[in-house]
Amino acid sequence: MRRRHSLRIRVSIAFAALGAVLSLLFALGIWVAAHDVSQRLMDETLSAEMADYKARRARNPESLPPATASLRGYLVQPGTAAAGLPAPIADLPPGRHELLLDGIPYRVAVEEVAGERYVLLFDETRQQRRERRFLVYLAAGVAFITIFATLGGVWLAGQVIAPVTELAEAVLRADPDKPPRLGRAADPGDEIDRLANAFDHYLARLAAFVERERAFAADASHELRTPLAVIRGAVEVLSDDPGLDEARRERIARIERAAAEMSELTDALLLLARERNAPVDTPCDAGPLAARCVERYRPLAAARGTHLQLEVAEAVLLPVPPALFAIVVANLVHNAVAHTRNGRVLVTLDRRQLVVADSGSGIPGEDLDRVFDRHFRGPDSLGAGIGLSLVKRVCERVGWQITLDSPPMQGTTATLGFGS
């Protein structure tokens, strides 16, 4: 996606562009008008000098053509050639012409009266030098106006954007529990007030949503924990019955494992529903907790002919709630065991990471980037597609990194990095 500049910069650029365009158009208009006036003045000067010379010649036929620093005149009588008349001028028709002689620009006036040709040459060097100097002044004016428009745009953008910036900062500081009043509901004034009122409405809805979430979490905590405690208590009582045979004890053990999973899942979901900055009372002793999760899936691994092994290199204390770590380990181990038959699952734990490596069927390359999506199920999956998405949510919540490596037909390695 193309990166967009801030609104302040865009307004400043717009003002600078507007100032540059308007000043250029204004300067162009002045230049065209000034050049036209200059041409008219030269033509009027030539006309006046031409009329004066013809009048003097009417009074005195021996009168000489004008000859000054910027004006030269010639008289061409029938059948003769004027002395010193440049060759390019001899064939010019009557009227006004532009001519360059020896690198000098001239404005030429040619008239014919009674067979006589009157020619006047006006040297435009000074006039063009003045026009170039005037053009420099115009360019400086354009640059000054552009700079002034830019500075004005920066200042004006700051004044216009300031209420929006203040509103954005107020929204960022807003507490969902106690949303502030940002706008004026009774008298919504300008667009900023209307935007603030819209934010007020949104924050009020957000506060109501947060309150509903907390109420649901509290109700779920009570309504789910109580029956789970009853189930686990009943399992303990049944397990103490000496008359149970091995098959019934195995069924009771499965009920106990399912109740433990439900309890951990409930705790994890309730923790995820809380605020992110909720403090952790005691750190999680990861080693024993990982061992309990591994032991829970050992019967499933044995039933699939898979060897499940845990290696803990050192004591690991994590600053996270135990329920979150347990739900991550349980899901990773369960996925590894469920996709491995007559193979091996190795779980290793140290202070840097938890690694769950299996020798199972692996994950197809086209599915590897989607396994953490909610409700995504692989071709051999029997679950609802929530386990790994829940793992991803927990990792995002506590700042862990989860990666999967699955070479074709070589199993899968899940690496849970604890970061710093």
Mean pLDDT of the chain: 80
pLDDT in tens, 47-76: 888 888 888 888 888 788 888 888 888 887
Q: What is the pLDDT of residue 276?
A: 58
The DSSP call for residue 314 is S
pLDDT band at 363 (very low <50, low <70, confident <90, very high): confident
DSSP result, 112-165: EETTEEEEEEEE-HHHHHHHHHHHHHHHHHHHHHHHHHHHHHHHHHHHHHHHHH
Q: Is the pTM of this model over 0.85?
A: no
* Residue 120 pLDDT greater than 80, yes or no: yes
Residue with tokens 């952790």: 280
Helix (H) or strand (E) holding 194: helix 191-239
Cα–Cα distance for residue pair 208/193, rounded to 1 Å: 23
- Tell me which of 41-50, 204-213, 332-341 is least confident: 204-213
The residues near 166 (Cβ < 8 Å, ≥ 6 apart) are none
DSSP result, 394-409: HHHHHT-EEEEE--TT
How far from 5 is each of 9, 14, 121, 148, 192, CA to CA, in Å? 6, 12, 59, 21, 21
Residue with tokens 């980037």: 369
Q: What are the tokens at 10?
A: 């865009």
Q: What is the pLDDT of residue 385?
A: 40
* Residue 79 pLDDT greater than 50, yes or no: yes
The DSSP call for residue 357 is E
For domain 176-278, which architecture applies?
Orthogonal Bundle (1.10)
**Domain boundaries along the sequence of the chain:** 7-148, 176-278, 281-417
Biggest alpha carbon distance in the chain?
155
CB atoms within 10 A of CB 130: 12
Cα–Cα distance for residue pair 166/158, rounded to 1 Å: 11
Query: Is 281-417 a domain of CATH 3.30.565.10?
Result: yes
pLDDT band at 384 (very low <50, low <70, confident <90, very high): very low
Do residues 65 and 74 make contact, with C-beta atoms less than 8 angstroms apart? yes
Write phi, then psi, for 242 (nearest 5 degrees): -70, -10
Residue 305: which region, alpha, beta or left (left: phi > 0; alpha: psi -120 to 50)? Answer: left
